[in-house]
């Protein structure tokens, strides 16, 4: 049994070994790394290390891959990361030492220097995100996590976050299994919105979400170059299921339809008020299905 289980959903990921190497070099606790190959074989051979425990699935999408990793994990703590990230030395101990039972924590996020496989030294830190007021986007109509650039760097080293980008998060595994459970692969699309599903279940179910600024990770921002050179798959298109999943997410949560929550959705907006894009008039906090938050 590991102290920390790190799950990595994988679909045609060219930088998996670099990510795994960074985890192995940075970790100081007893870890297990669980890459979940979602209907594909590794692009490169995996490192020969007993801490790496791959899973191979038929193609089920990101939610299904994360669920498979959760089921296979054994650690006291559980972390999910994308397969194109770099990590600070000792990231695992800092995060686990600062993760209360009912917390979800994320490290400070930087952009990745792809050539050095390290954080951009002069890059902007990305500690905060907010949930948008419902809007139409290329991904459909819904609520989305957006970087909160104007939320100040002077705020505490451990601070509340309304939501998060989703490429890395860490939790107490037992609490997660009991209170969050497996991700909903029936109503949401197979790809997208999982950070909102998880984060809202924490906040509205009585838990908390925090950023831990004393450690960091760096995440690759995919560009046209990566797709044009076929480094990454273009599988996750803005198709009907993705759009329907985002619409369901907004309707479900703004309508307070999730069972066993102790707060309504509007409580979270009020907690972080003022939130960009949200109108002052609370009676306008309505999803088009006619349900409102009072």
In a domain, 161, yes or no: yes
We report the CATH number of the domain holding residue 210 as: 3.90.550.10
Cα–Cα distance for residue pair 25/164, rounded to 1 Å: 25
Q: What is the pLDDT of residue 192?
A: 82
By the 8 A CB rule, do 49 and 79 touch?
Answer: no
Any domain includes 195: yes
One-letter-per-residue 3-state SS of 80-99? EECCCEEECCCHHHHHHHCC
Q: What pLDDT does residue 293 have?
A: 47
Cβ distance 55 to 68 under 8 Å? yes
In a domain, 293, yes or no: no
> Phi then psi for 86, rounded to 5 degrees?
-120, 155
Predicted local confidence at residue 232, as pLDDT? 64
Average pLDDT by stretches of 10, the chain with 294 residues: 96 94 98 96 90 95 95 98 98 98 98 96 92 88 93 87 98 98 90 93 98 97 67 60 88 95 97 96 80 46
- Considering the domain boundaries, does residue 16 fall inside one? yes
CA distances from 71 to 36, 39, 183, 246 (A): 11, 18, 11, 25
- Buried b vs exposed e over 83-120: b needs ≥16 C-beta within 10 Å? bbbbbbeebbbbbbebbeeebbbbbbbbebebeebebe
pLDDT at 225: 67
Which H helix or E strand runs over 270?
helix 265-271
Query: Count of domains in the chain?
Result: 1
Residue 180's domain comprises 4-284
| pLDDT score at 127 | 96
Nearest to 143 by CA among 184, 192, 103, 185: 192
Query: Would you say residue 184 lies in a domain?
Result: yes
Domain-located, residue 108: yes
Question: Is 289 contained in some domain?
Answer: no
Would you say residue 292 lies in a domain?
no
Token pair 């990590």 is found at 87
Distance CA 282, CA 39 (A): 45
pLDDT confidence of residue 227: 62
pLDDT of residue 290: 41
């Amino acid at each position: 049994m590991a102290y920390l289980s790190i799950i990595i959903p994988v679909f045609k990921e060219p930088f998996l070994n670099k990510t795994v190497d960074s985890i192995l070099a940075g970790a100081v606790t007893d870890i297990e790394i669980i890459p979940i190959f979602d209907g594909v074989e590794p692009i490169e051979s995996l490192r020969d290390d007993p801490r790496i425990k791959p899973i191979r699935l038929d193609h089920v999408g990101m939610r299904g891959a994360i669920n498979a990793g959760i089921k296979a994990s054994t650690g006291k703590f559980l972390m999910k990361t994308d397969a194109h990230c770099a990590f600070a030395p000792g990231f695992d101990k800092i995060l686990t030492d600062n993760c209360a039972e009912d917390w979800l924590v994320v490290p400070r996020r930087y952009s990745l220097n792809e050539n050095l496989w390290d954080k951009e030294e002069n890059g902007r830190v990305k500690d905060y995100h907010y949930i948008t007021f419902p809007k139409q986007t290329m991904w459909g109509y819904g609520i989305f996590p957006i970087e909160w650039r104007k939320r100040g760097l002077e705020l505490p080293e451990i601070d509340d976050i309304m939501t998060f980008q989703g490429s890395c998060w860490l939790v107490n595994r037992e609490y997660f299994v009991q209170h969050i459970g497996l991700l909903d692969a029936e109503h949401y699309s197979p790809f997208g919105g999982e950070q909102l599903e998880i984060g809202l279940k924490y906040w509205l179910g009585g838990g908390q979400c925090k950023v831990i600024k004393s450690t960091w990770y760096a995440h690759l921002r995919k560009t046209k170059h990566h797709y044009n050179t076929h480094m990454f798959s273009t599988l996750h298109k803005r198709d009907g299921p993705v759009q329907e999943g985002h619409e369901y997410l907004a309707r479900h949560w703004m309508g307070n339809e999730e069972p066993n929550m102790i707060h309504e959705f509007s409580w979270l907006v009020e907690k972080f008020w003022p939130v960009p894009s949200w109108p002052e008039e609370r009676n306008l906090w309505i999803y088009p299905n006619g349900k409102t938050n009072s």
